[in-house]
Structure 1
Amino acid sequence: MTQQLKTSATYSENAVSSEEHAIAARKTVERLIANGEPVALFLDVDGTLLDVALTPSTVHVPTYLPKLLDEIAERLHGALAIVTGRPLEEVDRLLHPAKFVAAGVHGGQMRLSDKGKIETLTPGFNPELVMDLKKIVEDLPGVVYEDKGSGIALHYRLAPELQSSLLMLLETLVPKYPTEFSICEGRKVVEVLPVGFSKGRALRKLATLPAFANKIPVMVGDDIADVDAFRAAEDLGGFGLKVQGENFSESESSFYGPSEVLDWLQKIANI
């Protein structure tokens, strides 16, 4: 019993310490911006700026969000980037009329200036692999197939009980197509991506651009795919700020959800 109490107390102390660290990191970023320190902000979209919806097309975008992001980008002298799993064409539609430096489809697409063109960096998938992925979706009613151009997303939010079956079937394709794709799990979605692409790699690339170079990188995200970007930002001397949700607990998160992220962004804009 004594050992159990000690273990429970230690866990509680660690949880509090982790929560305090997450909130302290957020407040440190606020202070850096308030003091005019060089900060570069990298933002995920779904689950971070926007509440997650049943399907990617049904998300709600607050009317003030594009203008708010524009104001922050101006305050940071252009050092605001979107780093998302969505195709950048969708991001532009959601945030119209604003456009930003961005990485889409986990770095498979890049836009290196707010007025630049979207570049596709990934090779096309083997047509046989595409056919096999579509066959998996046919065999799992409720899973939604989304071709992102630079990757393929298989959404199972409408049928969450199919997660294990979906992953098992995808794993059976790995020996058939060695080194051709990687599996990236997200919030009720599994993404099939060309090998070598990730949000972390994308952030490192964007951090070398003139508006971002030699600035403190801050990545805000809610998903497992964002972990690599958190690590990249921290390796570069910055911060990874987690948003609570399906993947990160309250004790490890700097924000309890997108609404608090938006409140924080408004606070930054008004500092």
Structure 2
Amino acid sequence: MHSLKKEKPSAAIEAPHPSSTSSARDCVEELLHKQTPIGLFLDIDGTLLDMALTPTTVRVPPGLAELLGVVATRLAGAVAIVTGRPIAEADSLLKPLKFIAAGVHGAEMRTTVTGEVKPLTQAFTPDLLNDIRAAAESMPGIVTENKGTGIAMHYRLAPELRDSLLITLEALVPKYPGQFSIWEGRKVVEILPVGFSKGRALRTLAGLPEFANRIPVMIGDDIADVGAFHAAEELGGYGLKVAGENFSQKEAAFTGPADVLAWLDSLRTVA
């Protein structure tokens, strides 16, 4: 796997800074207008797709894969998916195309579009899985999604169970020290191996040849995307928020997934 060798993009393509009159989105559009190379990192749920009651009931807009394929061609392959879903699920949603990707918040990766998906950590122990399963069974309405290198516990069908779910999972931390961390998302609690995050994933992907000397732009809608926003900014790029349950319309660069897709469609001609 390639490692990140640069702290910032080349000074020759230094990015403009947002100001009181220009937003981060304005700055990215200025770069595109000037034909400045960017690298695009995209979340899926809540960013490319509208949220659904469960992960399996999302609706994929017609032509999404084709659109992303055109954008990837325009950006010379510098498009990556950075998602909480397993990469296999991302592939299914975006078929027939495949992209460079980080799945399960970076706990698995594919560093070339034709490469294999590689888990970067061991699966959870049977004892921990049993305790998590027991927690879910004690709270009807919780939908548990085993991602292999992580587990998501969705409470969108029973939002009143959020606090109880967190308390139950936090009680497991001292029983399994150093094995997992707890992350909140949009009506979901993610149980992930310690040390993995979308921020770490973006830093790794930004070091790949496809993203060399390009300004990184991360687009996401969730609290879990904040680390990736910060990573992109620290590398001289931008984090663009999508409005929804976590980010207000005022602070966001996009009003929702439809706005993101319309913006991506505009890259057909300006990128």
Query: Please, what TM-score do these two structures have when normalized by structure 2?
Result: 0.91
Q: Does residue 35 of the first structure (1) align with residue 27 of the second (2)? A: no
Specify the alignment match of 1:189 in structure 2: 188
| Equivalent AA in structure 1 for residue 94 of structure 2 | L
AA aligned opposite 1:185: E
- SS in structure 2 of the partner of residue 134 of structure 1: helix
Aligned to 2:5: none
Identity across aligned pairs (percent)?
61
Which residue in 1 is equivalent to 2:97?
Answer: 98
Shift of 1:23: 6.6
Q: Deviations over 1:47-103 (max 9, x none)?
A: 000000001111111121101101111111110000000001111111001110000
- Looking at structure 1, the residues matched to 20 and 168 of structure 2 have their Cα atoms a distance apart, in angstroms, of 39
Q: Secondary structure at the match of 1:103?
A: strand
Aligned AA (1:60): R
User: Deviation at 1:116?
Assistant: 0.9
Instruction: Find the aligned partners of 1:24 and 1:106 in 2 and give their Cα distance.
Output: 27
CA deviations on 1:128-174 (whole Å, 9 max, x unpaired) are 11100000001000001110011001010000010000001011001
CA RMSD in angstroms, aligned pairs only:
1.4
Is 1:56 the equivalent of 2:77?
Answer: no
The DSSP-based 3-state class of the residue aligned with 2:231 is helix
Q: Select the structure that is richer in helix.
A: 1
Distance 1:202 1:235 in 2: 14
Q: Partner of 1:209 in structure 2?
A: 208
Residue pair 1:153, 1:189 contacting (<8 A) in 2 also: yes
Structure 2 counterpart SS, 1:220: strand
Report the equivalent of 1:135.
134
Deviation at 1:20, TM superposition (A): 8.0
Residues 45 and 82 in structure 1, CA contact (< 8 A), matched pair in contact too = yes
Residue of structure 1 in register with 2:106 after alignment? 107
2:207 aligned partner, one-letter code: T
The count of corresponding residues between Structure 1 and Structure 2 is 253
Query: Which sits farther off after the overlay, 40-49 or 112-121?
Result: 112-121
Distance 2:148 2:209 in 1: 28
One-letter code of the match for 1:82?
I
Which runs of no fewer than 5 residues in structure 1 stay unpaired?
Answer: 1-18
Amino acid of the structure 2 residue aligned with 1:127: P
Alignment partners' CA distance in 2, 1:72 and 1:244:
22
Q: Does 1:230 align with 2:229?
A: yes
Aligned with 2:156: secondary structure?
coil
Asked if 1:70 corresponds to 2:38, the answer is no
- Unaligned runs of at least 5 residues, structure 2: 1-17
- Partner-residue secondary structure (3-state), 1:251: coil
Q: Which residue matches 1:263?
A: 262
1:108 counterpart letter in structure 2: A
Distance 2:227 2:182 in 1: 14
Q: d(CA) in 2 for partners of 1:130 and 1:22? A: 50
**Correspondence for 1:6:** none
Q: Is the 8 A contact 1:77 1:211 kept in 2?
A: yes
> TM-score, normalised to structure 1's length?
0.91
